[in-house]
Amino acid sequence: MPDTPHVARPLTLPCGQVLTNRLAKAAMSEQLASRDGTPGDALRRLYSVWSRSGAGLLLSGNIMVDRDALTEPGNVILNDARGLEAIQRWTAATSGTDTKLWAQINHPGKVAVSPFNRRPVAPSARRSPVPGYNLRKPRELASREVSDLIGRFARTAELAVAGGFDGIQIHAAHGYLLSQFLSPVANQRSDEWGGDDTRRMRAVLETVRAVRDVVGNSVPVSVKLNSKDFVHGDFSSEQAVAVAVALGEEGIDLLEISGGGYEQPAMTGVADGQDATTDHGYFFRFAEQIRAVSPVPIMLTGGLRKPAAMEAVLAGGVVDVIGLGRPLAFVPDYPKHLIEGREPPLPKSAPRIGYRPADGYLELAWHNNQLHRIAAGKSPQHRPGLRTLAQSLTRITVAAGRQATIPR
């Protein structure tokens, strides 16, 4: 297909699944589930819109493997079969299209927001340094509990596929539980789950194996991995390359590259020491490092906006899929425009106050507000004001209060 733009070319994954093009909607936390974690009509409407976006792949927002640990209020929870029918109604939103829908499965570890009456767990009993996420000191997981949590990831993956999802993405980035296991700062264990780089990556690799065992070889298994944590002494690019190589050897179907977390939100382009000006995306240089040592398929997410730059990174063979998150919050059919050679205008960033964790959170709150508008049948709002941001933050805070205790 010499005349077909690279963004429009199909991709056959190692498991055999075919993506119709190289554009993916990256995961964004929708916060649209009911109080008990059940997806409803709002999520179905949102994904029905995105199923016509032109993207070959849609990644869901966080689907939690444990109802005692949520990243945000309004997360979908899938840890037993009670929510399977609701999941099936949600995934039916893509019926009649060629778009693949994958479930992103996650556990927040020490940065769990709700339910607030539960003590968070983590690799080591170390608080998050970010205000608001350090109110409760986490409890260190016993070795058998780590194994149990890996089993929870596998159970959620099994249920997600039974509910109609076409693939699984394991979230091991952004400072969540599996990312914490990779971190020399967050993981100060000396047992089989920590103590050196090899043991710190064990939880991620065991999770991949457990998920693969339950979904089989024909269902895609993907991992989202930080390029680095952007915190001194923490998970480095060199350590991330070693993990990426190990994941490739495990036979994952797609490795999504991101970076940072709550302390340094590199995924929104506002981390210390981050070059957020390049047209090739925030983490392209790291993708080059991986490609030099591993053939694992790579999805690059963050900061890519220009069609020419997307063509360049795909044509060069470093990257296999382009991940698009926030653009689809404002232009729901953004991929279709790109495939047709157009670059739709996007709004500038949300107002900033100069404190990076807060700026990153305001940015995410603004985009989350657009998802709620689309789910309600409204158009995205391209001009943010402080009033809009305040309303978004109030809604999230109220939802958190309602989920202080979650029906079991």
Q: What is the DSSP string of 34-66?
A: -TTS---HHHHHHHHHHTTSS-SEEEEEEEES-
Q: Return the residue matching tokens 């993506």.
A: 19
Distance CA 161, CA 315 (A): 32
pLDDT of amino acid 395: 52
What is the DSSP-derived secondary structure letter of residue 114? Answer: B
Q: Could you tell me which of 193, 190, 167, 168 has the C-alpha nearest to residue 178?
A: 193
Over the chain, what is the mean pLDDT? Answer: 86
| Residues whose CB is less than 8 angstroms from the CB of residue 292 and which lie 6 or more positions away in sequence, other chains included | none
Pairing of the two strands 139-140 and 23-25:
unpaired
Highest mean pLDDT among 108-117, 210-219, 237-246: 210-219
SS3 207: helix
> Bigger pLDDT: 234 or 276?
234
Pairing of the two strands 11-12 and 18-19:
antiparallel
CATH class of the domain at 6-402: alpha beta
| Residues whose CB is less than 8 angstroms from the CB of residue 373 and which lie 6 or more positions away in sequence, other chains included | 379, 380, 381
Q: Could you tell me which of 222, 211, 164, 166 has the C-alpha nearest to residue 20?
A: 166
Model confidence at 358: pLDDT above 70: no
Distance CA 277, CA 21 (A): 26
Q: Residue ranges of the domains in the chain?
A: 6-402
pLDDT of amino acid 230: 46
> 271-274, long-range: CB within 8 Å, 24+ apart, which pairs?
271/230, 271/356, 272/230, 272/356, 273/230, 274/230
Model confidence at 190: pLDDT above 90: yes
Instruction: Dig out the tokens for 84 from the structure.
Output: 């399977």
pLDDT tens for each residue of 59-75: 999 999 999 999 988 99
Model confidence at 343: pLDDT above 60: yes
Q: Could you tell me which of 177, 166, 170 has the C-alpha nearest to residue 256?
A: 170
Q: Cα–Cα–Cα angle for 342, 346, 352, nearest 5°?
A: 155
Would you say the pTM of this structure is higher than 0.95? Answer: no
Over residues 282-307, mean pLDDT: 90
Q: Could you tell me which of 282, 358, 362, 371 has the C-alpha nearest to residue 326?
A: 371
